[in-house]
Amino acid sequence: METAWRSDLFRTVMHRTVAIAQGSRTRRQEIVKGNYEFIIINFDGVKVVTPELQAGGFDLIIVDEANAIKSVQTERWKALATLVKPNTRLWLMTGTPASQSPLDAYGLAKIVNPDSVPRFFGAFRDKVMTKLTQYKWAPKRDAQDTVHKVLQPAIRFTKAECLDLPDLLFAAREVPLTAQQEKYYGAIRKQMMTIAAGAEITATNAAAMLNKLLQISQGAVYTDDRDVVEFDISSRYAALKEVIDGTDQKVLVFMPFRHSLLMLQEALLKDGYTVDAIHGDVAAGKRGEIIKQFQTEDDPRILLLVPQATAHGITLTRADQVVWWGPIASTELYIQANSRAHRAGQRHNVTITHLQGSPVERRMYGLLQNKVDMHLSLVELYKQEIA
C-alpha cells in the first residue's frame, strides 16, 4: 500500500489527497470518514470498516491483484460485494484471472458482471469443467473461451506495450511479523543489548545474533540444541502467492534457511502448486534433473532454492520472477542468485521481489541492493538493531 500505491498516486496525481486506512478499527474509521479523495486499504481491512465504506460515497473501486477475491465464499468477496452499487465504477486488475482453474473466473465475473454467469457456482462449474471421478474435475475444451466471455468487458495491456522498462526490476513487499514472531524477535534484541553492554561486539557475535533475527522473521529458528521452533508464516506466504499468481511464467524463490524451505514446500504442494527444491542435501545428479525439468517442461512451476547451493553456474531462464523469502549476508551470492534468471536466453523482463517484515531485513536488503559488502557491515547492523 505504501511502497506501490501511495507512491504511484503521488507521481501521477499529486494534486489529489491520499490516505492509507490501516491500524485499529477506530483509526481506519477515522481515515475512511476523512476528507480524502483516495483511500488505500488492504483486502481484509474492508470487512473491518464496511459500514463506513458503504457510507463514504466512493464512485470508483479499484481492486489490485483481483485474484484475492476470486472465491464468492470468502469474507473478502462478500464485504467487497456490499460496496458495489449499480452506479459504482469497478476496476478489477489482474494479469491472471484464471491462473489455477477456469473456476477462478466465477467470483471475478460475479462481482464485475453478474449477469454473465449463472446464479449458482455449481452451474458455472458444469459449464467449464468435466467430472472425471467423485473428487476430480478437468477443464472442458472450450473453458478458456467461456472464461473470456464471462469476464467482459475487459482490456489487456502488456508491460512492453505501455512501459519502457529496464530488463531487471526490483520490488519490495511488506509482510508484517505475527505476534508470536514479534515476541521472540524482541527477546533476541534484549539479549543482544545485554551482550553489547558487557563486551566488545565482534563480527562473529554480530553474525550469530542477526542470524537468529532473520530465522525468526522467515518462519523457523534453530535452538542451541539444533531443535527447530516454527512460526506462523501466513502473511509472508500470502505475499508470495500473490507474486506467483501474478505471472504466467515460472518463479524462483531463494531461501537462506533450509527448514523454512521445507515448510514452504509443504504449504505450496498442499495448495496445488507444482514445486521442487534444491538445497545442500540434494545430490548433484538429482539437481541436474530438477534444473533440466524446470527449463524444458511445464512443471515444476516453482523452484525453491538455498542460495549457497544454487547461486552459481546454472541457468533458470524459464522464470521471470525471483523472490527472496529473506535476505542473505553475502552480496556476491545475492548478485549471482539474481543472475540465474537474468542471463542469456531470457525473453522476459525479470522482477526481483524482496519479502520483508523486520527492521534487520529492510536494512540488509538496502545493503545488498547498494552492493555493500555485508561482512564488513555486520557489527554496524548489530548496533543499529539495538539502538
pLDDT on residue 133:
85
What are the grid coordinates assigned to 303, written together?
A: 523452484
Of 145, 115, 109, 100, nearest to 127 by C-alpha is: 145
User: What are the φ/ψ torsions at residue 216 (nearest 5 degrees)?
Assistant: -60, -45
What confidence category does residue 196 fall into, taking pLDDT thresholds of 50, 70 and 90? very low
Q: Do 81 and 111 meet the contact criterion of CB atoms below 8 Å apart?
A: yes
Question: CA angle at residue 286 from 343 to 280, to 5 degrees?
Answer: 80
pLDDT of residue 94 exceeding 70: yes
Is this structure's pTM higher than 0.75? no
Express each pLDDT in 330-358 by its tens digit: 887 898 899 899 887 788 889 999 999 98
Distance CA 60, CA 31 (A): 17
| Residue 280 amino acid letter | G
Express each pLDDT in 358-381 by its tens digit: 888 998 898 888 876 655 566 667
> Which structural domains are found in the chain, ordered by start?
168-175+236-371 (3.40.50.300)
Residues in a beta bridge with 169: 351
Distance CA 105, CA 108 (A): 5
For residues 250-257, give the mean pLDDT.
95
Of 240, 249, 228, 247, nearest to 268 by C-alpha is: 240
What are the grid coordinates assigned to 51, written together?
A: 459500514
Distance CA 318, CA 299 (A): 11
Length in residues, the chain: 387
